[in-house]
Amino acid sequence: MPPGEQLLTRPGRRSARHDARSSAHEVDPTLPPAAGATSSHPTDPSRKEADHACRHLAHTGPTHAEKYGLTAAEARAAEENLAGVAREEGLDYLVDFRDHGNTFDLHRLLHLSAARGLHDELLTLFYQGNLAAERSIYDSEHQVEIAVHAGLDEAEIHAVLADRRAYADEVRRDEDEAAQLGITSVPFFVIDRRYGVSGAQSVEAFAEVLRRAWAERQPEMTVLGADDQAGCDAHGCGVPGGGGTGEPRTSGN
């Protein structure tokens, strides 16, 4: 099964293949693009320390708190709560030293990976790099390393990053579609273009929306005369209205 496709099944019905894909959304497109000189280098302690200080300021600054109307202490408590939930699921999540940046190049690389059948692999690594690693994902050199690790060709990665037009139209189309659907934040899940799920919701909430969408796409059939045994089978044909066992059946040919 190709990456991104899920197989949905329903008792008594043929399985149907549905496509699941992610679309681009820049949380803050006003931020500057990635620059290799701004991120920490694992072999240079002084650069790493300076970068940690900058990233700590970016994370604990007013942006997150102001966006949600929280105090700095409340914003940090919310982050620590997320970290606790992640740990319960066996996931790493950094509270400190996570930075923010322009995601346009990340989305362009994701479109490249989709064209090469490696979208899920790269998306997973980008999430891990952004939420669980101390080195900045907005460092262009680091982006190349991650994309190579996902299986993309290094020369092709450099070519895409060097050409700001590469996959730019695809990213803008994603963003235009999101705007048409009224999407202003992520995560946001669109199901059959009829249902939207905003934010981190429970498994039960997703299951309910999927059940509704599936029921509307595959409505139950109402069968008249299902108990009359008026149809034909290997033993012959029943008499309409006969009502059950022991009633006469006409013989088949």
pLDDT at position 19 is 63
Whole-angstrom Cα distance, residue 108 to residue 102? Answer: 12
pLDDT at 55 over 70: no
For 2-37, how does the pLDDT look when each residue is reduced to its tens digit (9 = 90+)?
333 333 333 333 334 456 667 776 766 666 665 443
CATH classification of 5-184, choosing from 3.40.30.10, 3.20.20.10, 1.20.140.90, 3.40.50.300?
3.40.30.10
Helix (H) or strand (E) holding 196: strand 195-198
DSSP 232: E
Mean residue pLDDT of the chain comes to 75
pLDDT at 110 over 90: yes
Q: What is the pLDDT of residue 11?
A: 33
pLDDT tens-digit map of 69-105: 888 888 888 889 988 988 998 989 988 877 778 899 9
Is the per-residue pLDDT at 183 higher than 60?
Answer: yes
Residues 6+ apart with CB under 8 A from 230: 237, 238, 239, 240, 241, 242
Between 66 and 247, the higher pLDDT residue: 66
Task: Output the pLDDT for position 63.
Answer: 59
Q: Where are the domains of the chain?
A: 5-184, 187-221, 226-253
Output the pTM of the full model. Answer: 0.66
Do residues 83 and 93 make contact, with C-beta atoms less than 8 angstroms apart?
yes
> Is 41 a residue whose pLDDT tops 80?
no
What does the pLDDT read at residue 6? 34
Confidence (pLDDT) at 117: 95
Reported residue count of the chain is 253
Taking only the tens place, the pLDDT of each residue in 231-242 is 666 666 665 555
Express as a percent the part of the chain with pLDDT over 70: 61
Q: What is each CA distance from 145 to 80, 91, 126, 154, 236, in whole angstroms?
A: 29, 22, 11, 8, 70
Q: Which one is predicted more confidently, 202 or 112?
A: 112
Query: Amino acid identity of 213?
Result: A
pLDDT in tens, 198-246: 887 889 999 999 999 988 887 666 667 655 566 666 666 665 555 555 4
- The interaxial angle of helices 104-115 and 119-132, nearest 10 deg, is 150
First to last CA, the chain: 45
pLDDT for 218: 76
Strand partners, 48: none
- 25 versus 180: which is more confidently predicted? 180
Least confident of 49-53, 118-122, 198-202: 49-53
